[in-house]
Amino acid sequence: MINLISTQADNDRVTGPSKVFRNLVRGLDAIGYPYVVNRSLTSTRRLWVHDDHIALRHLRAAKEAAVVVGPNLFVLPRDIPAGIDLQGYLYLHPSEWPIELWHTAGFTQCPMKSWAVGIDTDAFAPPANPARNGVVVYHKERPEAQLEEIVRSLSEVGREVSVLRYGDYTEDDLIRAGSTAEVVVWHGMHESQGIALQEMLSLDVPIVVADVRRLSDAVGPYVFGAEYDGVSVTAVPYWDDRCGVIVSDYRLVAEAVEYVLAHRSEFAPREFVRERLSLEGQARAFVELWDHFGLSYEDGLRERPSNARPWREPAADRAARFTGRVRRAVARRLGGS
């Protein structure tokens, strides 16, 4: 049995972290593995802290627990607040390149391992006889000038083009686009997993990826610094030839789209997702993370929680945090006056 500590348990918004939590729970349900959500930190031997920074500060109370943390906690080790000690835990990243990034940043507090959450292939399933037409360009945190060039080059060869912008679409929009497009062009930033792209693949549409190789290739709000440009990154950490075509230069997108359309029968993106990223398979891989601590999959099937108390931050700590916020707000106001 695993205790899942996550701030996403009651979050109805569609976000990357909420997808990680919900798809994991669906996978655990599918394989019949026992879990509880947001119970006291001492209630089970196996403990996962998904994204709860406050819980991290209180993990030492769970002396008997084998603790896995992440992946939705920190972008870089420099983001870890003072006072949080990760020694003795296992830190998750969604793929291998963020592990290399953290090694480059000098992180040595605890071992790291990659794990990707599964994709809900039932929710992201293509229609029985889809009428596909045109090209959808998915745009996320890349230069606008590149997007304009991609759209222009596709239009020049007679392709009907529509653009899906990150942060400006619903999940239904994504499903509709992936179910009706002949090809999707992915003009996005580096991704540690790339759940939205994998959901598109699950809709059985091949993708042409205008890939990124350096963190500085993206124009997102998080600034990494040139010292990390030696780390090889990608928009597609999970991929094989069934999924589509990757180009390293966005100016080659139109040519790649024509190639995919001419060889459509050679691609099987949904097959790739069902084989490599199923809810059930990734839930099993998640449970097997506790092999690191010598805890077997089978033993966990028989475990039960020692108590039914919910996880709550101690009242004294909650009051101290509130007082600290008030003091900082007052200091900022006085400093600006």
pLDDT of 104 higher than 80: yes
pLDDT of 218 higher than 80: no
Per-residue pLDDT at 227: 87
Average pLDDT, stretch 62-66?
Answer: 93
CA distances in angstroms from 186 to 26, 55, 111, 166, 208, listed in the order given: 27, 36, 32, 11, 6
pLDDT tens readout for residues 232-249: 999 999 999 999 999 999
Average pLDDT, stretch 22-33?
Answer: 99
pLDDT of 94 higher than 90: yes
| Beta-carbon count within 10 A of 291 CB | 10
Tell me how far apart the alpha carbons of residues 32 and 20 are, in angstroms, rounded to a whole number: 18
Per-residue pLDDT at 49: 98
Give the CATH number of domain 2-118+281-322; options: 3.40.50, 2.60.40, 3.30.70, 1.10.3470: 3.40.50
Tell the residue number behind the tokens 């990707």, with chain if given.
116
Contact 75, 91 (CB under 8 A): no
Average pLDDT, stretch 155-173?
Answer: 96
Per-residue pLDDT at 163: 98
pLDDT of 304 higher than 80: yes
Contacts 24+ apart (CB under 8 A), 162-171: 162/134, 162/135, 162/136, 162/137, 163/136, 163/137, 163/139, 164/136, 164/137, 164/138, 164/139, 165/139, 165/140, 166/138, 166/139, 166/140, 166/141, 170/14, 171/14
pLDDT of 321 higher than 80: no
Nearest partner of 238 among 113, 90, 97, judged by Cα: 97
| Beta-carbon count within 10 A of 312 CB | 12
pLDDT of 145 higher than 80: yes
Instruction: Considering only residues 247 and 128, tell me which one the structure prediction assigns the higher pLDDT.
Output: 247
Nearest partner of 279 among 20, 69, 16, judged by Cα: 20
Q: Do domains 2-118+281-322 and 135-277 have the same CATH topology?
A: yes
Average pLDDT, stretch 145-158?
Answer: 98
Mean pLDDT of the chain: 93
Please provide residue 93's backbone torsions phi and psi, each rounded to the nearest 5 degrees. Answer: -125, 150
Per-residue pLDDT at 148: 98
141 φψ region: left (φ > 0), alpha (ψ -120 to 50), beta (else): left
Per-residue pLDDT at 318: 64
DSSP state of 133: -
pLDDT of 326 higher than 70: no
Per-residue pLDDT at 161: 98
Tell the residue number behind the tokens 């990659």, with chain if given.
114
Reported confidence tier of residue 40, pLDDT bands at 50, 70, 90:
very high
pLDDT of 316 higher than 70: no
Per-residue pLDDT at 60: 87
- Give percent of the chain with pLDDT exceeding 90: 84
Three-class SS state of 49: strand
CATH class, range 135-277: alpha beta
CA distances in angstroms from 325 to 188, 235, 318, 334, listed in the order given: 36, 37, 11, 14
Average pLDDT, stretch 125-148?
Answer: 94
Nearest partner of 124 among 12, 17, 201, 14, judged by Cα: 201
Average pLDDT, stretch 143-160?
Answer: 97
DSSP state of 175: H
Angle at 57 between CA 319 and CA 284, to 5 degrees: 130
- Give percent of the chain with pLDDT exceeding 70: 93
Question: Which residues, listed in sequence order, are joined to residue 185 by a DSSP beta bridge?
Answer: 137, 208
For the chain, domain boundaries: 2-118+281-322, 135-277
DSSP state of 266: G
